[in-house]
Structure formats: structure tokens, C-alpha cells
Amino acid sequence: MSTLTFDASKLASFVSEDELAMMQPMVTVADELLRKGTGVGAAYTDWLHLPTAYDREEFSRIQAAAKKIQADSKVLVVIGIGGSYLGARAALDFLNDYFVNAYADSDRDYPQVLFVGNNISGQYLNSVLKVIGERDFSVNVISKSGTTTEPAIAFRVFKQKLEEKYGVAGARERIYATTDANKGALKSFADAEGFEKFVVPDGVGGRFSVLTAVGLLPIAVGGGDIEALLAGAAQAEGELVSAKLAENPAYQYAAYRNILYRKGYVTELLINYEPTLVQFGEWWKQLQGESEGKDGKGIFPATGNFSTDLHSFGQYIQDGRRNLFETLLRVTEPVSDVVIPEMDAEDGLGYLQGETMSYVNRTASDGTMLAHVDGGVPNMVVELEKQDAYHLGYVIYFFEVAVAISGYLNGINPFDQPGVEAYKRNMFGLLGKPGYEELTAELRARL
């Protein structure tokens, strides 16, 4: 099996071969817009060649910083929101045992990596502080500007805690700032305080940034092999280049999504059957939703964590409105397995004793897919050979290049996010931020 396979055979009753063939001219144009940099948002396409054109010197500093944090800290607190944390969190779950962050210190090979600044909950921050306790910790604050509300609040809290524990000078040695190379509040503050800095590249938007220092430092601290991660992405960069649909599975995926969308399938569920893939779905949701949801258009991204969710909203998938389709992400080789014990019991499982749970899990995924297809839900499959850093790098790049083509096929800019600012303006107005006085009065009157 190759690193990644894409299977659209279960779409036969929903999309004809002719329909896919007729997408080729549009895909060719979308490819040219992306590859030649003539499409809207081209200034934010540096991620295309990031796996092979990354800053080697900074990469070495990331590895050195990770080793230092591993040596002097039991916990790394990662402060960021959206693309500043979703990729790293997804990677660490993908690459580790499910409960690795719950292990006691004596059982851990690497620091515990905790994520904050992705909400505005005081209870959540207090819970994180309790988990840290008296253990040594460091902070990686990630923000392009340094003024985003959620991470800025969290940074104030944890900077204060560091200074209380280690003093002002000691705290500076434990703060790592990943931010803009040339401007912004965090960049200026990091320069003034002497924090070690890493760069959020100008040409890489947040949701495409997991293969930059944004994701690489936390992943490395948590024991992830970032060299293999980039190597897998580099293989994808080299292979997913043809504009011909027959030769490029990422482009096939984008084309099929576009056809289904035009037929009224406006919601896509990314399906998994492994709890360690749940956070990958959260990263994928931002990538898809923020790239495509604009101008009154776009496929709504959601996730299904099976077989768990088959016992909750599985009924809706099977028999509800026929406006959704599924993409199953699965891995061929299980990371580990369990054999179902033989015993005298009344549970009706005698026919399964001696089988592996991975066999049952895969069979469940096959049976569910067929049932959903029969129920009118189109299904595609993205399958990885192994669940390791190399294959993770490949599938990250697969979805990134696919959503870029998908956005251009739908006539939108896949690289901006204008709608994100609307809630921020209202929040600032209601909080009484200086400069928003007129909006403050208007919103409070409405409430």
C-alpha cells in the first residue's frame, strides 16, 4: 500500500465518471491559479513549498529549544487559538497513546503539553494551573499579532505565574514566543524582554501553519519526530502536483466534493474510528470551514467519531435529511491491538472470541459505510498505511492542497477569513474597548 490511498468507489451511485471528467478543465484552471500564484490570496500560499523550503537554521533552533524544555520542564503550556494550537494538538494526539497527557511524571518520557488561550474560561485556566501544581513548566505563546483576546489574557496569567515561581529573569528563560518576524505587539514585547523567538511566516496563514514553528515546537517537545513529519509532507509535495485528476488523489477529492456540493450535499463529515484521530478532525474543521465558508457559499465541515457517535447522531446520518456526505479517515495498521478473550458468557460474543479489536473495528467501518451509502449518504475514504509522523505529514499536506483547489473551484479566496472579525468587533464593543464607544452604545441598546 502507498503512503496514502483515496477511494471514491462508493460514489458510483452519486457521481458518474462523465461528471468527474467534466471537472478536469476547471481543475486545470484552479491548479494554475494555485501553482502560478495568479489566484486571489496568492500571497498566502508559501505553505505549498514549506516541506522542502523551510528555514533550516530555525528548524535547528526549534530542536534545541525542544531539548531544553524537555530537560528543565515537566509541562509545556502552549498559548494560542485556532491555527496556533489545533495542528499541534492534533499531531500530539495522533502520535501518542490516548491518555498520554494523564500519565504521572514517573511514567512520562516527555513533558506534558497543555493548551490554553483557546477559550475565555477562568475555570479552565484554574484547572490547568492545578494540573501543573508545583512542577516546573515553560510557556510557548503563539500569536501573529499578540493582541488576540483569548491568548493575550492567558499569557498575562501564565507569565505572572512564571515570574512568581522563577523570578523575572528566570521567567524570561522559560518563555518562547512564536510570532511575526517584523511587527506586532508580541514581537516587540519579546524583543524587549529577550524571549527566544520563532517565526510565523508572512506567507502562511494560521490554519496552514502546523508545519512551521507554530506546530513544530510543541510537537517536538511532546516527543513527535518533526523530521519525519516534514519528510512525509515533502513526499506529498512531490507527488500531489499533477493537474490531471487521474494522477492526483488530492485533486480528485476536491473535485468530488465540488460535484457533491452542487448536487445539494452541503455538509461533510470527517469520520474516524480511533479516538487518537478526534483532534485531527478539529484541525480539519478549521482548515475546511475557514477556507471555504464565505460569500454565502461553502461546505459545512463536521466530524463523526465512530463507533461512539453511531449511538448518538448515527440515526440522523442514516435516515435524516440527505444533504450530507462522509469522508472516512482511517489507518491500515493498528498502533496496537487487543485480542477478544475466550470465556463462558451470556453476551452473545462467542463468534468474536479470539479475533482482534482492530478486525472488529474495521469491519464495523465497512458495514457502516455500506449502510450509509444505501441510505443515500455519499462516502469517500482517505486511508493511511501507518499512524506515525511521516504519514501525518503526508495527510496534512493532502488536505491543505485539496482545500486550496476546492476553494478556487467554488470561486472564493481560500486564504482569507473576513468573517472572523465580526464577532471580535462586537466583543470589543460590549467590553468597552477604547475606540469602540459608538458601537458599545449601539450593542448594549440592542441587548
Looking only at the bridges linking them, the beta strands covering 379-384 and 4-7 are: antiparallel
CB 249 within 8 A of CB 6: yes
The residues near 95 (Cβ < 8 Å, ≥ 6 apart) are 219, 222, 223, 224, 225, 387, 388, 389, 392
The one catalytic residue among 237, 268, 274, 290: 290
Could you tell me the sign of the dihedral formed by the alpha carbons of 375, 379, 381, 387, in that order? negative
Distance CA 247, CA 28 (A): 12
Please say if 163 is a catalytic residue: no
Distance CA 75, CA 72 (A): 9
Q: Of 147, 54, 148, 157, which is closest to residue 114 (Cα–Cα)?
A: 157
CB 59 within 8 A of CB 51: no
HEC-encoded secondary structure of the chain:
CCCEEEECHHHCCCCCHHHHHCCHHHHHHHHHHHHCCCCCCHHHEHHHHHHHHCCHHHHHHHHHHHHHHHHHCCEEEEECCHHHCHHHHHHHHHHCCCCHHHCCHHHCCCCEEEEECCCCCHHHHHHHHHHHCCCCEEEEEECCCCCCHHHHHHHHHHHHHHHHHHHHHHHHCCEEEEECCCCCHHHHHHHHHCCEEEECCCCECHHHCCCCHHHHHHHHHCCCCHHHHHHHHHHHHHHCCCCCHHHCHHHHHHHHHHHHHHCCCCEEEEEECCHHHHHHHHHHHHHHHHHHCECCECCEEEEEECCHHHHCCHHHHHHCCCCEEEEEEEECCCCCCCECCCCCCCCCCHHHCCCEHHHHHHHHHHHHHHHHHHCCCCEEEEEECCCCHHHHHHHHHHHHHHHHHHHHHCCCCCCCCCCHHHHHHHHHHHHCCCCCHHHHHHHHHHC
Which amino acid is present at 160? Q
Please say if 197 is a catalytic residue: no
The one catalytic residue among 297, 342, 424, 437: 424
- Annotated catalytic sites, by residue? 290, 424
